[in-house]
Amino acid sequence: MIGKTWCTVLVFTMVVAGCQPSEESTNTSPSVVPSAKAEAEVRAAVVNIYAALSAKDANGIEPYIKSDGYSEFAVTGGLLRLDMEYLRSFLTGEMELQAEVEDLKVETYGDAAVVTGYRVHSFKMPDGSIDEGTQRLSMVWARLEGHWKVLHVHLPPSSEG
């Protein structure tokens, strides 16, 4: 019985030791370590996008948009694909808008980032009606070719927010 117990302990120890990363295999690359610099870059990108939206400045948004655009679960509940052509036409419309993100949180994971917060907005429609509100917001970003780009935005419908 002692031989069987000893053998079990030995095998368990070997398995546990084999599961530990060696010093050579531990990845300490700066690209996978949370980075205050990357978090600050993404935070600035989010602030810049919303400032450009409020100013109806498509050129201020463009650096953060991939050529094929990004996906968005919109307030209406539908999945949209938004690109610069759509954004330019939206921003040249008669609607007045102000939007910003409050309680902005950024977590980076190498060349990816997750943003959460609350979008506070006021939209004045061409007919004079006003849509104001606060909604939960989440965004997924990636550093592509050295620049942070938005990949996905989620604005839950009012019933969720």
| Whether pLDDT at 130 is above 80 | yes
- Average pLDDT for residues 36-47, to the nearest whole number? 97
Domain encompassing residue 144: 32-154
Q: How many domains does the chain divide into?
A: 1
Whether 20 maps to a domain, the answer reads no
Q: What is the DSSP letter of 126?
A: T
> pLDDT tens across 60-101, in order?
999 999 999 999 998 777 899 999 999 999 899 888 999 999
**Residue 42 confidence class, pLDDT cut points 50, 70, 90:** very high
Whether 114 maps to a domain, the answer reads yes
Q: Provide the sign of the torsion angle of the four alpha carbons 67, 72, 78, 82, taken in this order.
A: negative
Find the CATH number of the domain harbouring 140: 3.10.450.50
Show the 3-state SS of 77-124: CCEEEECHHHHHHHHCCCCEEEEEEEEEEEEEECCEEEEEEEEEEEEE
Three-state DSSP at 130 gives strand
**Residue 151 confidence class, pLDDT cut points 50, 70, 90:** very high
